[in-house]
Amino acid sequence: MPDLRDLYQEVILEHSKAPRNFHALAQANQKAEGFNPLCGDHFTVYMTTAGDSIQDIAFQGSGCAISKASASMMTQAVKGKSKAEAKELFDTFHKLVTTGESNGDREDLGKLAVFSGVSEFPVRVKCATLAWHTLQAALEGKQEKVSTE
Amino acid sequence: MTTAAKLPSTESSVRSRSFDTGFDVERIRGDFPILARDIRGKKLVYLDNAATSQKPRVVLDAVSRYYEQENANIHRGVHFLSELATSEHDRARQSVKSFINAADAREIIFVRGTTEAINLVAQTYGRANVGAGDEVLVTAMEHHSNIVPWQLLCEEKGAKLRVAPINDAGELILDDFAKLLTSRTKLVAVAHVSNALGTVNPISEIIQLAHQKNIPVLVDGAQAVPHMKVDVQALDADFYTLSSHKMFGPMGIGVLYGKAQLLEAMPPYQGGGDMISSVTFEKTTYNKLPFKFEAGTPDVAGAIGFGAAIEYLNAIGIENIAKYEHELLTYGTEKLGSIEGVRLIGTAKERAGVISFVIEGVHPHDVGTILDQEGIAIRTGHHCAQPIMDRFGIPATARASFAFYNTKEEVDALANGIQKVREVFA
C-alpha cells in the first residue's frame, strides 16, 4: 500500500510552501504556458537561453503541492544546463515518476529523486510532470498552451 | 420498506438511528453492496454522490434479471419476450412520470442523461425558436452541460448567452435575474440545485418571473431529484432534466420531461427507427410522443433499472430522505466549518447534498489524495463549473457530496481526514 509520506516528502512540502525561482523573468527569450484542465493547475515557465545553454529559468502560476514543488525543483535542476541535458533529465525524471525506477541514473537526478513516490499515485504523475512538459514546450518554441490532457 | 418505530435508547439504536429522525440508515446501507467494501484496508466512506450515486441491490437485480430473463427488442416483436420487455420499459416510464408528477407519460422522453436532455432541447426547441439577436439566459452557477449546449446554439444563430449573477454565498441574485428577462429572452436554463455549491435555487419564483414574460424555462434537475420531492406540474416547469445514475439507478439513462404542447411542436432530434410512423424516400411522418424523440433501440435494461431505483426511493419516501439529509448536511456544515483553516465555498441558506470547501495553504488535489488514503472518496477540481471557480477566485474546491446512506460517523471520518491533511501540511 502506498504511503503518504512517500509522496509528500519533507523536501517536496518545503518547496511547495516556498517555491524557488517563483517569479516572472523580464529578459526571458523563451517561455511557455502549461495547464492541467482536470485540476486547474496552471504554470508559465520563463527562460533566458544563450546558444545551447539555459542561463536562467523561473516560473509562475498555481497548482497543487506536487506540481508546484516539481516546478520549483526543476528550475534549480536545469539552470546552467544545456538544452540537451535538460531534455535528458526530463526523460530520466519521467521514468522515475511513472515507474519508480531510474536505470541507475539516480545520481543524475540528484534531489529530484524525492519524487520517486509519485509512481505509487498514478493520478498524480501529471502533477509532477506539468512543469517539465511546459519546459519542453518552451525549449521547442511552441506557441500553444501545453495541456496534460 | 417502512421506517422502524423508535426503540428505547440503547447504544445500538442510537447508533443506527442518527439524529432521532427514525431513519434506519444502517439497514439502508445493507441494501448497497458496494458500501461494504474496503478501500486500501479502510472502510469506504463514499462522499462523491454528486458525481454518481451507488446502486442498491434491487437495481442491480432488475438489470441482470432483464438480461437473464426478459431481453428482447421492444415495440416490434409479436413474441412473448418482446411484449414483456416493452411492457417493462413502459412501466419504467410510468414510474418516472409519477415520481416527478408529470401530467402524462408521453412527456417523459428517455435519453442518455441530463447532458443529452439539454442538448436535445437546444438542438430542437432552441434551433426552432432562437434567432439572431435573441438571448438565452442561464445563471453563474451552471454546470458546463447547461452552458455549452446554449453557447453552441447561440454561436450558430447569432444569439447571445446572458448570465444572471450570484452573490458571495453562492445564491442567485433574483433582482438581477429578473432584469435580464427581456423581450429578446427566448429561453431560461437554470439548475435546480448547483452541483458545485449545493445551492437550491428558488425555482418556483424563477419560473413565475419568466412566465410573466412568456419565456419558457428548462430546469436542470440532475442534483435536485435525488434529494427532494420534485413536482413538475406544481413548479410549472416547461422542461425538466434528470439523470438516473445520480439517483441510484444505472448509468447511461436519464429523462427529458417536457410539456406535451412544447414537445409536439418541436422538430425531432435524431432520425432513425422507432421515431417514425412511416418512411418513404419522399416523405417521413414522425411517431407520436414520446417516441418521436427516441430514435433507435433504447437502453431498455437501463430504463428498467431506473424504474427499480425510483420504486426503491418511493419505498423509503423522498420526504424522509430529504429530512435525514438535511440533518446530515447541517451537521457536516457545522463540523467542517468549525475546523481551523477550512473555508466553505457556497453558504446559501437553502442547500442540498453538497459541502464545497478549501483548506488554507493546501490545494484541493492534495486534499483529495490524502483523504483517499483514508478510504474517503470526495471530488476535487472545478466540478465542471469553471465559471463558479472564477467567481470565487479559486482554481478548485474539495467537494463532499451526500446521499441518504451516508452517516454522521462518515462526516466525522471526513473531519478527521481533514485534520490529517492539515497535519501533513503543517
Interface check A63 vs B, CB under 8 A:
yes
Give A124's DSSP letter. G
The CA-atom distances, in angstroms, between A20 and each of B21, B216, B233 are 54, 55, 60
Using the beta-carbon criterion (under 8 Å), do B365 and A127 form an inter-chain contact? yes
Query: Is position A94 within any domain?
Result: yes
The answer to whether the peptide bond before residue B267 is cis (omega within 30 degrees of 0) is no
Phi-psi region of B350 (alpha: psi -120 to 50; beta: other; left: phi over 0): beta
Interface check A26 vs B, CB under 8 A:
no
pLDDT of residue B19: 66
- Please tell me which residue of chain B has the smallest CA distance to A4: B370
Q: Give the residue among A97, A91, A92 at the shortest CA–CA distance from A126.
A: A97
> pLDDT by residue (tens digit) across A51-66?
999 999 999 999 999 9
pLDDT at B216 over 50: yes
pLDDT of residue B187: 98
Interface check A24 vs B, CB under 8 A:
no
pLDDT of residue B257: 98
Using the beta-carbon criterion (under 8 Å), do A65 and B41 form an inter-chain contact? no
pTM of the model: 0.92
Query: Is position A148 within any domain?
Result: no
pLDDT at B20 over 80: no
> pLDDT by residue (tens digit) across B282-313?
988 999 999 999 999 999 999 999 999 999 99
Catalytic (active-site) positions of B = 384
pLDDT at A2 over 90: no
- HEC-encoded secondary structure of chain B: CCCCCCCCCCHHHHHHCHHHCCCCHHHHHCCCHHHHCEECCEECEECECCCCCCCCHHHHHHHHHHHHHHCCCCCCCCCHHHHHHHHHHHHHHHHHHHHCCCCCHHHEEEECCHHHHHHHHHHHHHHHHCCCCCEEEEECCCCHHHCHHHHHHHHHHCCEEEEECECCCCCECHHHHHHCCCCCEEEEEEECECCCCCEECCHHHHHHHHHHCCCCEEEECCCCCCCCCCCHHHHCCCEEEEEHHHHCCCCCCEEEEECHHHHHHCCCCCCCCCCEEEECCCCEEECCCCHHHCCCCCCHHHHHHHHHHHHHHHHHCHHHHHHHHHHHHHHHHHHHHCCCCEEEECCCCCECCEEEEEECCECHHHHHHHHHHCCEECEEECCCCHHHHHHHCCCCEEEEECCCCCCHHHHHHHHHHHHHHHHHCC
Residues in chain B: 426
Name the strand (E) or helix (H) holding A134: helix A125-139
Using the beta-carbon criterion (under 8 Å), do A39 and B396 form an inter-chain contact? yes
| Fold exhibited by the domain B59-314 | Aspartate Aminotransferase; domain 2 (3.40.640)
pLDDT of residue A143: 66
Residue A55 belongs to what domain range?
A: 4-141
pLDDT at B11 over 50: no
> pLDDT by residue (tens digit) across A77-133?
999 999 999 999 999 999 999 998 876 656 678 899 999 999 999 999 999 999 999
Of the pLDDT bands very low, low, confident and very high (cuts 50, 70, 90), residue B1 is: very low
CATH code at position A82: 3.90.1010.10
Query: Is position A149 within any domain?
Result: no
> Can B11-43+318-424 and B59-314 be said to share one CATH topology?
no
Query: Is position A63 within any domain?
Result: yes
> pLDDT by residue (tens digit) across B352-366?
999 999 999 999 999
CATH of domain B11-43+318-424: 3.90.1150.10
Using the beta-carbon criterion (under 8 Å), do B365 and A8 form an inter-chain contact? no
Q: Is A113 helix (H, G, I), strand (E, B) or coil?
A: helix
Q: Best residue in B38, B39, B362, B363 to probe A by mutation, most A CBs within 10 Å?
A: B363
Average pLDDT over all residues of chain B: 94
User: How many folded domains does chain A comprise?
Assistant: 1
pLDDT of residue B6: 41
Average pLDDT over all residues of chain A: 91
Which three cell numbers mark B260?
406535451
Percent share of chain A, pLDDT over 70: 93
pLDDT of residue A97: 95
Q: Which residue among A65, A121, A123 places its CB closest to the CB of B363? A: A65
Give contacts of A123 with chain B, Cβ < 8 Å.
Answer: 369
